[in-house]
């Protein structure tokens, strides 16, 4: 079925949540996934609204294995996608171990998302983002944890040109804003050198050249044309 838009209303929490358990000892147990009254509909191209999830509520305690069952087409996969973490939960994930207050967590998440140009995606499920947007959210996660060094391995390999630029610009922007974050970016794409302050070129386990990005670009291009000339001769 072709869709023009997706509509979703839900109240969803992903860990860490505390709730009163109905278990034998009435102990407080941690809830990893909780969705309340989740509704999800799709709008067809013909303008018809098709309800898929109808007022679903689930509560899954931390550290347990639960199964989701039901006949084909009843909505299991859709429910799973809708309970996928939001951008906000994803960026906040690594902060769980830092013993921060909720307002500190919110402030860090919002600053990190701002730095990568993703503020307006706070409540979007990560799974609905493009590849480049997901990379930017991952970078925001590192930033929220106050990482001072980012080691970024081929972030843009499978991205189209606009996503590729979005990620490069997000990294550049956060370096400009923070003034104290350093990034080392692994790439095969020579055109990305235009955005680098410096570069390192390796061959066969050795650093062959280390310096300004323009000189390294020139060096690699000269090597490439000499190689092409050799195989054409």
Ligand X SMILES: Nc1ncnc2c1ncn2[C@@H]1O[C@H](COP(=O)(O)OP(=O)(O)OP(=O)(O)O)[C@@H](O)[C@H]1O
Which residues sit at the interface with ligand X, rule CB under 6 A?
Answer: 1, 3, 42, 52, 70, 72-78
Nearer to ligand X, 46 or 72 (CB): 72
Distance CA 233, CA 230 (A): 5
Nearer to ligand X, 7 or 149 (CB): 7
- The distance of closest approach from Cβ of residue 34 to ligand X in the complex, given in angstroms and rounded to an integer, is 19
Nearer to ligand X, 53 or 152 (CB): 53
- The distance of closest approach from Cβ of residue 205 to ligand X in the complex, given in angstroms and rounded to an integer, is 48
Residue 153: which residues within 8 A CB-CB, separation 6 or more?
186
- The distance of closest approach from Cβ of residue 58 to ligand X in the complex, given in angstroms and rounded to an integer, is 14
Question: Is the distance from CB of 135 to CB of 142 less than 8 angstroms?
Answer: no
- The distance of closest approach from Cβ of residue 151 to ligand X in the complex, given in angstroms and rounded to an integer, is 37
Distance CA 196, CA 211 (A): 11
Nearer to ligand X, 46 or 64 (CB): 46
Residue 122: which residues within 8 A CB-CB, separation 6 or more?
86, 87, 88, 109, 110, 113
Question: Is the distance from CB of 183 to CB of 152 less than 8 angstroms?
Answer: yes
């Amino acid at each position: 079925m072709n869709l023009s838009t997706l509509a979703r209303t839900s109240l969803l929490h992903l860990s860490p949540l505390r709730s009163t358990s109905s278990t034998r000892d009435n102990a407080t147990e941690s809830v990893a996934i909780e969705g309340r009254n989740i509704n999800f509909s799709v709008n067809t191209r013909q303008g018809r609204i098709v309800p898929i999830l109808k007022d679903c509520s689930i509560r899954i305690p931390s550290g347990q294995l639960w199964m989701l069952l039901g006949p084909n087409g009843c909505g299991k996969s859709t429910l799973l996608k809708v309970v996928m973490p939001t951008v906000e939960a994803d960026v906040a994930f690594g902060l769980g171990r830092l013993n921060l207050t909720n307002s500190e967590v919110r402030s860090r998440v919002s600053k990190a998302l701002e730095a990568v140009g993703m503020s307006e995606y706070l409540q979007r499920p990560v799974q609905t983002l493009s590849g480049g947007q997901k990379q930017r959210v991952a970078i925001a996660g590192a930033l929220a944890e106050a990482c001072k060094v980012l080691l970024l391995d081929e972030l843009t390999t499978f991205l189209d040109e606009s996503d590729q630029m979005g990620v490069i610009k997000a990294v550049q922007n956060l370096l400009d804003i923070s003034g104290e974050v350093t990034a080392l970016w692994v790439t095969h794409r020579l055109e990305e050198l235009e955005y680098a302050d410096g570069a390192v070129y390796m061959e066969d386990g050795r650093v062959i050249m280390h310096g300004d990005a323009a000189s390294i670009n020139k060096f690699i291009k000269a090597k490439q044309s000499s190689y092409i000339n050799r195989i054409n001769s």
